[in-house]
Amino acid sequence: MGTSRQSGPWSEKGSAGKAAENNASSASCCYRCIECNQEATELYRDYNHGVLKITICKSCQKPVDKYIEYDPVIILINAILCKAQAYRHILFNTKINIHGKLCIFCLLCEAYLRWLQLQDSSQHIDPDDLIRYAKEWDFYRMFTIASLEQMAFFIGIFAGLWLIQPTTLRRKSNFILLLKALLLSSYGKLLLIPAVIWEHDYTPLCLRLIKVFVLTSNSQAVRVTLNISRKLSLLTILSGLVLESSVVCFFQRMGWDVESDCSIYKT
Ligand SMILES: [Zn+2]
């Protein structure tokens, strides 16, 4: 429980540990206990002579954040397993600031996948295909459509939350934190690229599993961020999916070849 350590092991903790150390310098920042979600003022206390002691949660009597000692790979594995403690560590107790870049990269992956599907689905030889710029514009179009669908999904989640439990989004900080959590928890979309590169007979199944994994991660992120029930978080994800599907339906009625998730996963 209350472990005292020399400074040696702490210097080898990796990025999570370093982030926590940086966090410790800002005393005004609030952390969360990864076990019970109770707020905490510090993750560990730095005594003289390099002796550090992990803070114990006053509510549940467990270490506030055991993951500050863990290797980042272990934390990532726990996050992949959708453990709420790992999500709380990443979302509340670290200063990970890659959600914007990650979102752009995920959208690029998705746009690339749709662009590939578009090339495969075009049976006829269009003279425009001979022009490189036409293909390039197709990619930009897919990127824009993927972005709009992603936006619709998030708006659907926020709208669902607003309708079901309006008190959760009254604080601006909750809104921003939830948006960051949703962007971070969509990291599973990075798997789209290897799934396409190592193409085989089970690729459509892989794409469906990736979609399920991303939705599960999103649901867990909503649940942990707002500290709501699993049922409510699933409902919000469902409302996001409904709005996203409506947008896809609208695009298809407009006659746009969107190659969206639905059309990809139906193959
Ligand atoms: Zn606790």
Distance from residue 80's CA to the centre of ligand 1 (Å): 22
Q: How far is the CA of 133 from the centre of ligand 1 (A)?
A: 56
pLDDT band at 22 (very low <50, low <70, confident <90, very high): very low
C-alpha 111 to ligand 1 mean position (Å): 42
- The answer to whether 247 and 148 are in contact (CB under 8 A) is yes
In whole numbers, what is the pLDDT of the chain averaged over residues?
A: 81
Return d(Cα 214, Cα 194) in angstroms, integer: 15
Contact 16, 67 (CB under 8 A): yes
Confidence band, pLDDT 50/70/90 cuts, at residue 214: very high
* 80-137 confidence digits (pLDDT tens): 999 999 999 999 999 888 989 999 999 998 888 888 877 776 655 555 555 665 677 8
Strand partners, 241: none
Q: Which residue has the higher pLDDT, 139 or 3?
A: 139
> What integer pLDDT is reported at residue 261 of this predicted model?
60
d(CA 240, CA 160): 7
**What does the DSSP assignment read for 162-204?**
HHH-GGGGSSHHHHHHHHHHHHHTTGGGGGHHHHHHT--TTHH
Q: Is the pLDDT of residue 2 over 60?
A: no
Q: Which amino acid is at 24?
A: A
| 224-250 per-position pLDDT tens digit | 999 999 999 999 999 999 999 999 988
Give yes or no for a contact between 173 and 191, defined as CB atoms under 8 angstroms apart.
no
Which residues fall inside 5 Å of ion ligand 1, going by CB? 33, 35-36, 38, 57, 59-60
Ligand 1 centroid to residue 39 C-alpha, Å: 8
Q: How far is the CA of 9 from the centre of ligand 1 (A)?
A: 24
CA distance 116 to 38: 47
Report how far ligand 1's centroid is from the alpha carbon of 33 (Å). 5
The alpha carbon of 56 and the centre of ligand 1 are apart by a number of angstroms equal to 8
User: Is the model's pLDDT at 147 over the cut of 50?
Assistant: yes
